[in-house]
Structure formats: structure tokens, C-alpha cells
Structure 1
Amino acid sequence: MRKWLPLTAVCLGAFMLLVDVTIVTVALPDMSADMDTGFAGLQWVMDVYALALAALLLGAGSLADRIGRRRVYLGGLGLFAAASLACGLATGPAELIAFRALQGIGGAAMFATTMALLSGAYQGRDRGVAFGVWGAVNGAAAAAGPIVGGLLTEQFGWRWIFFINLPLCALAVWVTLKAVAESRDPHAKGLDLPGMTTFTAGAAAVTYAMIRVGENGWSSPATLVLLALGAAAFGAFVLVELRSSRPMLDLSLFRSRTFVAVMAAGLLLSGAAFSYLMYVSLWLQSAEGMSPVGAGLVLVPLSAAAFLVSAVAGRLLHGAPARLTIGGGLLLIGVGALLQGWMLDAGDGWSALVPGLLITGAGVGTATPALAATAMGAVAPARAGMAGGALNTARQLGTALGIAVLGAVFHAGLRSGLGEAGHGLSEPLASGGAGQLLAAAPAGAAHETLAGLVDAAFASGLRETFLASGVMGLAGALAVFLLIRRPAAVPPSAGTVPPARTAGAPAPAPRQ
């Protein structure tokens, strides 16, 4: 059993960093009540973690190749643990958001090194087993996040969703020191700091602009300035990468239509399938009165369907055209989101979402297995690691931008549903205050009127959100069908990870 200790160390880290993408979802109403956090603050608590992962994955992989993968992994574990402790002790939303960003930096260091550590620790059949277990742990993390978060929040308080990471990090550090050997790339080049800086600035500015839209509107000076800054930063990133002798991302990869399609698919899949779940959780707990555990259980059909369909699709659709598996999966994701919007009316409960969640999960499970293999198969073998890292970056960026964009849509839908009669209630409802508003209302006709207004507002906000998610899913499917014209099969090596670069991890199993 000693030979599986490196796998244990890597899986502990992967489980923690992926659980922390979703574990916060069901704790948001309690965070809002405890810290008096507004809607934008709640968005940032979710967004800044995914944003840090997206911005630093490729850079962390390059650093690990150069100074040592075990060293960077251990550094990531240490930073993740310290940031988790700080998140649990935070006294205000600004502190919590800052420490969540540090968590994301630690998570990027861990995520960027896991596959390279497994590649170095195992060979032959053992490597296949290790990668299979790693993929199963990723899927379990996506499904477990809302449940674990709900249990901890309900029994011990929301701060324990962060404190629980401390013993797990300590165990992962101990096993890593005991069983994982150091490795590095003797041919690794230096870091692309200008590329990392401009990409991070662009992603942060655009995300912040989308979050401000909910408060200020699309035409406000603040929104327009932030969007302009984001566009300028991304333009600078392109110039830097074109001129750099050691680019973080080789832009010549985008000469491949298939690679462009896969990047678009990864971005839109995460945005369409998972980004609306925080708004669903706010509705379930604040307006429907469900417990954190109950809200977490409502979200399980999506993760469970994705996990089961992914396992089945990996066998039954092996060798099927990538345009069918990826495009068809995105089509299902879009249909699932639209079905949720169509079935949800004012006064409906959580059961109206289940059919759409199952279809969306089936779409995620159909598309995900082929994404990484197709991305790496669309480029030269020497660039396979960079292609895999770019896909992971696209998926995390899709989550961050999706939360921001759908937040603006959700907030606008709330205001529309409230109408003139509920002017001024949109912010309390968006930040999880429906329960307090209803509890404070006097019994009788006034309470019934307010309850009807709250139901109408959330139905309107969520319908608009599901519509936007559905459009994203269908747009992704259209991009895949148009760009991947040649019905090439997924490479036979699908699921095999080249050990050439640290950042070449395939896209993880579905995460919310």
C-alpha cells in the first residue's frame, strides 16, 4: 500500500481545492447575515477564488517545472491552509474576499502540479489506475461540496467550511513529505511575469465590471471604464505573448479551429452549467426556508448525473467524434437550463428544477471527458501540456465570468419581478435577506402580499438567469459544430496525460 501514498497526497489536495469551489455556495446566506454582506460581496466571495485559479494556473505550472513540483505543491498546501484559517477568522467581507483570493493562489499551485506529480510517481498500469482514481476524486469533490458545506454550516456555522481544511492540509503535507519525490523539468524556461500580470489585470477588470453592472447598469461610467481597462489589459497580454521568447500561452495554438472550439466550449460550459447555482442556493434558503443541507441536496442531481454519465460516456462514446460529444453535451446543458426557466413559476418549489438539473448534468458528463483529450490532440505533442493548462484556465475563467454576468441578469430580473411596489427590496433579496424580511412582516394580508412579491421576484430573477445560461450553452454548442467541421474522433489516448508539463492537467471532473 505504500506505493499509493503519492496518490493519496495528490488526491487530498485536489479534493480540497475543488470542494472549495462549491462548498461556499450553500453558506452564502449565513455569511451575508453574519457579516451584513451585500450582493456584490457575495459574488466576490465566489468569484475571486475561481479568478485566482484561472489567472495563475499556467504561471504556477511554469514555476513548478523550474523550481520543483513537490516544492510548489507543498507551498500551495501551506498557503491554502493559512488562507483557510484566515477566511474562518475574517470579521468582514473585505477580509474574507482577500483571503479567498489567497486560497485561490494556493489552489492554483496545488492544481498545476497534481498531474505532473502523478506522472512522476507512477508508470504503466499503475499510472492509469492513479489517473482514474484522481478523476473519480474530482467528480466526488464536485458532488460533495454542497453537501459537506451544508452539513458544516448547519451544525457548526459557516466558518467551519474553511476550518475543515486545516487537518486535511496537515495530513496532505505529511504524506507528501513522506512519500512524494521531487521532480522538475531540466529544460524549463523562466516565468512570463508580464503575461501573468496583464492576463490577471484583464480578467479582474472584466469580472469587476460585470459585478458592477448589477448596481450601476451597463451604461454607467464605472462599468464602461472597467470594461475598457479589461480590453486594454487583454490587448497588452496578446502583444506580450506574441513578442515573448517564453510565452505563458503560445497564441499560435489558436490557429487550430478545433483548439479555438475547445477553449470556447470550456469557457461556456462552466459558465452555463454551474455559475447560476449560487443564485439558486440563495433562493432555496432565503425565500423557500430550506436548510443548508437541504439546499445542498437539491443541487446533487446535477453533479450526480454528470458523474454517472461521464463514466458511461467514457466507455460507450470512446472514439466518437469530438464535435458530437462536446457539442451535444453543450446542447444538453443549454436545454437543461432553459427547461428550468420554463418550469419555474412564482410559488413553485425546488422540485421544478430537478428535470433541468438532470439534463444539464447529463450534458456536463457527455462533454467533459472529451474536452481535455481533444484540446491536447489538436496541437503538436510538445504543446499538449500548455493546451491542457489553457483549457483549465478557460474553465475557471468561465466560472468567474459566469457568476458575474449571471449575477447582473439575476439582479435585473429581481427588480423586474418586484416592480414599483417592491422598489428598494432587490438588494436585500439578492443578498439573502428574504427570510428576515418575511419574518419581520406583520401577520395577515401584509405578510401574504410580501410573500407573493418575494415569490414573483425570485421567479423572475431565476427565469432570466436560466435563460442567459441556456443561451450560453447553446452558443457553445453552435461554436463547436461550426468550428470542428471534420468529424475527427477523440484521440485513442483520451484520458492519458502527457508528463511533459506541469500545467498540462486535463480539465477536472465537473465543478460548480
Structure 2
Amino acid sequence: MERLPLAFLATIFWVNLLAFLNFSSVFVAMVEIGHAIKAPDTMILQLPTALYAAIACAAPATPYLLQRLGPRRLLMFSMIGLSATTVLASQCQNFWQLMAVLFLHGLFCAPISPATQAAVKDNIPDRDLGIGMAIWGAGNYAGGLVGPLLAGIMVTVFGWRSIFIIPLPFVLLAFPLVMTAIKSTADRTARPDAVSMLMAPIAMLFLVATASLGPSLSWFSSPLVMFCAVGLAFSFPLFVWSYRRSTSTAFHMGCLLDRFSGLSLLIVFGFNMVSTGLFQVEFLGKDPILTPEVIGLRSSIAAGTLLLGFIISGWLCQKHSYATGLFGGLALTFVAKVGYLFYNDDSSALDAIWPVAFSGVSFGMVTGVVATLAYRTIGKNHAADIATCFILATYLGASLGTGILDEVLVAFDTLFVAQGMAAGAALERAFKSEFWVELVISVLLLWPAWLLLRGLKTPED
């Protein structure tokens, strides 16, 4: 049996860790940062949005960049840009400067996850693809483990600017790993196209911006949201029309029509809609001990259990036990969502951690399995397209989920207040109702999961 390329897998793990370090750190410290730079209260939660809006915007260009530059050179450029922008972020003096720099930082982070996932498909035999995808996913969420722990300590000891220095030592080790373990392949004849490089990124940017800014800025009463919504109304149909008319684009979306890829991406999208964790933290926000250190601890526990979930998924995929991994992961999600329903005014940030742990394991198991099955009938020449769609499904699901579920929360709160409930009781019941909606959406994912597994020819051991 051919041995796994351990140096290659270690590189994939380490480079992916970089992609999530600043995102998780900003999430932990966003309230502290917002107050320090006098950000508008309605915009503080948009600091992480700048990162994943940029990632969704830049992702469609990744297949062309991979083809033109090759994975080694693309990852090197990404890490150089990541390092430069993280230093710039530490020097920002106001909110809008920081938003702009974080957006630029996200543009450099965007190619990392799809490029490394495509590299796993290209370099790992199909029989070991489950292990490869488990390591790929574990690397992504190792950043979510290390980042919050370090950020929680550093923001307290050294101030918020110090968190942006966290990635730099990791980058220094990543450079030699990429140089030695990642192949240098490039097609200098590749040509960019307007659909992949311009129309798709603009449409994705307007989509994420509209969904994310709308709840914070009272939707169409805000000129900024109106601008984004009008931009979306024009850019998205133009993107679809141009894509259908184009004979060759670097970013192919035909993979969505493949049974395994399409259903896997649907599950990823839906799962991320209800797995942001934002509403659990928001519900517990009244707790005075919900400091950066405690948020960092909660985030690190979530990331640590995610790592465990990916390890389990890799082992199950190696045994072709896809149904166990997928349905087992969904079952743990149901347990976690029910746990959120027990939150009340007496719940503290530390008492309410156990549902976070269940959510983490379930997310890792489900994502690891569907990341493997998405490539079941797809050749290596379309690996970059699947990887790009996977990242888009992740970030679009998270941003749309936050926007939609926030409106659900507001609607329930308004309804209960109108029924004569006291403001505090109405808000608590609104949160519980929002958690019920998350549970229902999670249950609905059983249908695409069943359809996905129904198409498998390999029985469980």
C-alpha cells in the first residue's frame, strides 16, 4: 500500500490554519476593538463580515489563479499579502480603516482553503481522500482553536492591536513547508475571463454585503444597504446570463449538477446557516463574565471539538461508513440545538458550553464526510471548481444565515411584545424561538443527506 505523503499533509494543515487565525481572533475581540476605535454600535458585528465578504468575493477567481500561477506560487503570494495586511490592521486608527484593511486581508486569505482542498484531491489517492479531507478541515479549524486562545490573552495583556501579530510566526514556518511540499505547476497560456474575475466576484460581494448589513442598518432605511441591494439586483442576473452565454470560464459551476457535488454543497450551505454560534453568544451577552478570554475559551472549545469531529470523519470515511458519519453528525447537531433551548436568564457563559461542544463534533463529522463525497464522481480537472464552490457554500451560508435568522429573531421579539409580554421575557422567548428555527432547518437536512447516501454503491462495513 502506498504511504500517505505526510510532509504534504502537514503543509496542508499548517497553511489552512493561517486562513482562519485572524477571523477567529477578530470574532473574539470585536467588541473590544469596536469600543477602542469608537465604531458605531450597529456596525461592531460587521468586523468579521469584512473578512468573509472578501473571501466570498475573491473565491470565484481561485480556479484561474490556480491554473495560471500554480498552487505553490498562489499560496506564497497569499501568505505575503496576509502578512502585510495583518501588520496594517494593527496600525488602523478608525473603524472604516480597519474594515477596509480586513477586507483586503480577506482577499489574500480567499485562495488558501480552495487551493489546499484542490491540492488534496490532486495528491491523495481516492481510497485515502477521507483522511486527506479530515486533515484539510482540521487545519482550517485549528486556527479557530489557537486564534481565540491567544487572542483572549493578548487583548487583555497587550491590547487589541496585538492580536493582528498572531499570524506572523506561523507564516514564517509556512514558507519553507510550501516551498518543499507543494508542487510548482503553472499554465502560462491560461487567460482570465470576465465572468470568473469580475462578474461573479461582484455578485458575491453584493450578496454578502446585503445579507450582512441589512439587519444591522434597518435594511432599506439605510442608503448603504439600498446601494448593495440595487447592486445585487443588477449584478446577479448579469452574472447568470453571462455565465450561460460563455463557452469557457475558469470557474465552472457545472459541478452543481452532479448528484454528489450538488447535494454535498447544499448540506454545507444549510449546515453553515445554522452553525454560526452568533446567537448563542448574543443571548449570553448580558453575562458580565463574557469577556474576550471567555469568548476565546468558548471558541477554542468549539474548534477543538471540530478537530475531533474531523478526526472521526476521516476514520469513518476510510471505512466507507459515510452514513454513520453523516447521520451521526446530524444527530449530534439535534442534541446541541435542543441544548440551546434550555438557555435562560440564569445561564452563564460557562454553564452553556456543552451544546457548543456537541455542535463542534457534529460540524466536523458532517463537513468531513460531505467534503469527501463531493469529489466522488468528479475528475481532478474540476477539483478547483468543487473546492471554490465548497468555500462559497460555507461563507454564503454563514452570512445569509446570520442575516435571515437575525430577522427571524427580531420578528419573534416584535410579535411577543405586541402580545403584551414584558421586554425581557419577550426577548428570551424570541431567542428560544430562533433556536427552534435552527433545529427545524437542521432536521430538514436529513432529506438531502438521505438522497446523497442513496446514490452510494459502496456499502458500509
1:150-192 per-residue CA deviation (whole Å, 9 max, x = no partner) reads 1222222222221122333244335545x35661244873223
Once structures 1 and 2 are overlaid, which stretch shifts more, 45-54 or 204-213? 204-213
Structure 2 residue corresponding to 1:477, chosen from 431, 438, 446: 446
Cα 1:459–1:156, aligned 2, differ >3 Å: closer, same or farther? farther
Residue pair 1:58, 1:112 contacting (<8 A) in 2 also: no
Report the AA paired with residue 116 of structure 2.
Answer: T
2:336 counterpart residue number: 336
1:426 counterpart residue number: none
Distance 2:101 2:228 in 1: 23
Cα 1:76–1:180, aligned 2, differ >3 Å: closer, same or farther? same
Distance 2:38 2:416 in 1: 24
Distance 1:101 1:199 in 2: 17
Using the aligned pairs only, state the percent identity.
Answer: 19
Residue pair 1:321, 1:489 contacting (<8 A) in 2 also: no
Residue pair 2:137, 2:310 contacting (<8 A) in 1 also: no
Distance 2:189 2:458 in 1: 29
SS in 2 for 1:376: coil
Distance 1:312 1:174 in 2: 30
Cα 1:125–1:16, aligned 2, differ >3 Å: closer, same or farther? same
Report the AA paired with residue 291 of structure 1.
Answer: T
Structure 1 residue corresponding to 2:456, chosen from 488, 492, 497: 488
1:372 counterpart residue number: 371
Residue pair 1:374, 1:491 contacting (<8 A) in 2 also: no
Cα 1:173–1:457, aligned 2, differ >3 Å: closer, same or farther? farther
Cα 1:93–1:224, aligned 2, differ >3 Å: closer, same or farther? closer
Cα 1:132–1:394, aligned 2, differ >3 Å: closer, same or farther? closer
Cα 1:399–1:491, aligned 2, differ >3 Å: closer, same or farther? farther
Residue pair 2:24, 2:147 contacting (<8 A) in 1 also: yes
Cα 1:150–1:466, aligned 2, differ >3 Å: closer, same or farther? farther
Report the AA paired with residue 233 of structure 1.
Answer: S
Deviation, structure 1 residue 11:
4.0
Cα 1:61–1:149, aligned 2, differ >3 Å: closer, same or farther? farther
1:48 counterpart residue number: 50
Residue pair 1:249, 1:390 contacting (<8 A) in 2 also: no
Deviation, structure 1 residue 4:
7.0
Report the AA paired with residue 20 of structure 1.
Answer: N
Distance 1:412 1:168 in 2: 44
Deviation, structure 1 residue 265:
0.9
Q: Given the alignment of the two structures, is residue 201 of structure 1 paired with residue 170 of structure 2, yes or no?
A: no
Deviation, structure 1 residue 46:
0.8
1:303 counterpart residue number: 303
1:326 counterpart residue number: 326
Report the AA paired with residue 391 of structure 1.
Answer: F
Distance 1:239 1:112 in 2: 25
Cα 1:138–1:188, aligned 2, differ >3 Å: closer, same or farther? farther
Report the AA paired with residue 98 of structure 2.
Answer: L
SS in 1 for 2:248: coil
Q: Given the alignment of the two structures, is residue 349 of structure 1 paired with residue 348 of structure 2, yes or no?
A: yes
Once structures 1 and 2 are overlaid, which stretch shifts more, 4-13 or 378-387? 4-13
1:211-231 per-residue CA deviation (whole Å, 9 max, x = no partner) reads 343255467586577445324
Cα 1:291–1:217, aligned 2, differ >3 Å: closer, same or farther? closer
Report the AA paired with residue 83 of structure 1.
Answer: T
Q: In structure 1, list runs of 5 or more residues that go unmatched.
A: 422-451, 493-512
2:357 counterpart residue number: 358
Distance 2:28 2:402 in 1: 15
Deviation, structure 1 residue 206:
2.6
Residue pair 1:195, 1:248 contacting (<8 A) in 2 also: yes
Q: Given the alignment of the two structures, is residue 466 of structure 1 paired with residue 441 of structure 2, yes or no?
A: no
SS in 1 for 2:160: coil
Once structures 1 and 2 are overlaid, which stretch shifts more, 381-390 or 84-93? 381-390
Residue pair 1:152, 1:161 contacting (<8 A) in 2 also: yes
Cα 1:91–1:167, aligned 2, differ >3 Å: closer, same or farther? same
Once structures 1 and 2 are overlaid, which stretch shifts more, 111-120 or 150-159? 111-120
Q: 1:21-36 residue pairs with structure 2 within 5 A? A: 21-36=23-38
SS in 2 for 1:159: helix
Distance 2:416 2:93 in 1: 33
Q: 1:432-471 residue pairs with structure 2 within 5 A? A: 459-460=428-429, 462-471=431-440
Deviation, structure 1 residue 34:
0.7
Q: TM-score, normalised by structure 1?
A: 0.75
Residue pair 2:28, 2:295 contacting (<8 A) in 1 also: yes
1:183 counterpart residue number: 184
Residue pair 2:203, 2:232 contacting (<8 A) in 1 also: yes
Cα 1:406–1:204, aligned 2, differ >3 Å: closer, same or farther? farther
SS in 1 for 2:374: helix
Q: Given the alignment of the two structures, is residue 405 of structure 1 paired with residue 391 of structure 2, yes or no?
A: no
1:293-329 per-residue CA deviation (whole Å, 9 max, x = no partner) reads 222223444333332233234334632355x643553
SS in 2 for 1:233: helix
Q: 1:277-292 residue pairs with structure 2 within 5 A? A: 277=278, 279-281=279-281, 284=284, 287-292=287-292
Distance 1:477 1:408 in 2: 25
Say what the alpha-carbon RMSD is for the aligned residues. Answer: 3.9
Distance 2:364 2:197 in 1: 31
Deviation, structure 1 residue 15:
1.2
Cα 1:272–1:31, aligned 2, differ >3 Å: closer, same or farther? same
1:367-390 per-residue CA deviation (whole Å, 9 max, x = no partner) reads 122112211114455434422331
Residue pair 2:64, 2:192 contacting (<8 A) in 1 also: yes
Cα 1:34–1:77, aligned 2, differ >3 Å: closer, same or farther? same
Report the AA paired with residue 339 of structure 2.
Answer: L
